Every structure is written in C-alpha cells, then in structure tokens.
C-alpha cells in the first residue's frame, strides 16, 4: 500500500502548486488513474479536459488565466485580460483574451471561454512579461503593449475600451510615453 500512498501524496503536492495537466503525471511517474480516483473522492476537481485542481483550492479572479496558461503554454494573455491583470479596468472580461502566433493551431477549450487574436514577429513578442498566478508562470503583455494592442484590435474590443485603457495608463502612471511609442513601433512590423 505504500507505493499508492506515495503516488497520491506526490500528486497532491503537484496539485498544491496550481492546476495539474494529465500529462504532468507522466513526468512524475504517476498513472493517470489516480486523477479519476481523487476526483471520485472529491479531492480534485476536473476543470476541463486534461486539467485538474484541488477541490478546496482558492479560486481568484485571475485563476482562469493560470488555467489557460497551463493548457495553452504558447498563448500570451493580452487585451482585456491584461488590462485586468494590470489593474487598468474595473470590468471583468467575459472571456480570457490571448495572443497567439498567426500560424499556431487554434486552441480548443471548453472552459474558460477564449477570445483569440493573432500576431507574429515583434507584434507578438515585444512587450511580454512573465507573472506567477496560482503558482503558474503566465506570459502577459506589459501595460504599454496592452494599450497599443487595444488600439490595434479596436474592432474586437471597441474604441471606448482603448481610450479608457490609455487614460488609465497615463493617470496611474503605468509606464512612459516612450514605452507606448516603442510598443506601437513594434506592432507595425
């Protein structure tokens, strides 16, 4: 019985560090059947296909961003979701907004809902920072890049949102005008 307890303990240690993908168990040498058992026992919750978290885990307003980052590691959190991360909006977006490469496969998630915009080159890679949300490394656009992207994708988010983002950026001193200009130049390539 000791090996089962050890594997269960190891799985719970992984789950305490944030959402767990089924493929993470392969690296830890834990059979995937343990996920089903712990879900049936009410210890784990299945968030989406292949993604699990502790049933009693604290779920914050940014937890969905960590779940998306775990399931779609090449995605960059941007636009309305990045505004929320940087405290530049009072509204909670209805979906998680992500930036993916022009040639990347469209991610398919049942939960949370995704709003996907595509970019490539410097327009995608410039102005990206790494944050830790729920013990998961999440790539997020910087405040300057977020404002510039709101103007670039204004047909998706609305011009009112873009103008409000710019006002918040300047009022809350989230960065310099030079950072905005640099981000705008990178978006033009």
CA 42 – CA 148 distance, rounded (Å): 44
Same structural domain, 70 and 146: yes
Whether residue 77 sits in one domain with residue 28: no
Domain count, the chain: 2
The verdict on 46 and 78 lying in the same domain is no
Average pLDDT over residues 67-82: 94
Average pLDDT of the segment spanning 94-106: 94
Residue with the larger pLDDT of the pair 59 and 2: 59
- Pair (88, 153) in one structural domain: yes
pLDDT(4) > 60: no
Q: Do 107 and 48 fall into the same domain?
A: no
**What value does the mean pLDDT take over residues 131-136?**
91
Q: Are residues 71 and 135 in the same domain?
A: yes
Residues 43 and 109 in one domain: no
Cα gap 77→9, rounded to integer Å: 32
- For residue 30, give its domain range: 2-54
Domain termination site, one of 32, 54, 76: 54
158 and 77 share a domain?
A: yes
Alpha-carbon distance values, 123 to 66, 120, 128 (Å): 23, 6, 10
Same domain, 131 and 104: yes
pLDDT band at residue 154, thresholds of 50, 70 and 90? very high
119: helix, strand or coil? strand
* pLDDT value of position 1: 44
Helix (H), strand (E) at residue 98: strand 96-101
Kindly report the pTM of this predicted structure.
Answer: 0.83
CATH number, residue 44: 1.10.10.10
Same domain (yes/no): 82, 158: yes
Peptide bond into 112 cis (omega under 30): yes
Residues 46 and 108 in one domain: no
Q: Of 110, 118, 112, give the one whose Cα is nearest residue 78.
A: 118
Structure tokens at 41: 């026992």
Do 39 and 68 lie in a common domain?
Answer: no
């Amino acid at each position: 019985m000791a090996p089962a307890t050890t594997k269960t303990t190891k799985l719970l240690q992984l789950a305490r560090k944030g959402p767990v993908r089924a493929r993470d168990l392969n690296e830890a040498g834990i059979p995937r059947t343990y996920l089903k058992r712990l879900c049936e026992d009410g210890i784990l919750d299945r968030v989406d296909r292949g993604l699990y978290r502790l049933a009693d885990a604290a779920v914050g307003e940014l937890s969905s961003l960590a779940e998306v980052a775990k399931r779609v590691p090449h995605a960059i959190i941007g636009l309305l979701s990045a505004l929320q991360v940087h405290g530049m909006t009072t509204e909670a977006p209805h979906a998680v907004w992500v930036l993916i490469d022009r040639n990347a496969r469209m991610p398919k998630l049942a939960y949370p809902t995704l709003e996907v915009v595509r970019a490539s080159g410097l327009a995608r890679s410039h102005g990206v920072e790494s944050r830790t949300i729920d013990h998961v490394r999440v790539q997020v656009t910087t405040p300057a890049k977020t404002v510039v992207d709101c103007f670039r994708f204004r047909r998706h988010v609305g011009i009112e949102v873009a103008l409000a983002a710019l006002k918040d950026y300047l009022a809350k001193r989230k960065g310099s005008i030079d950072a905005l200009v640099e981000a705008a130049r990178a978006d033009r390539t």
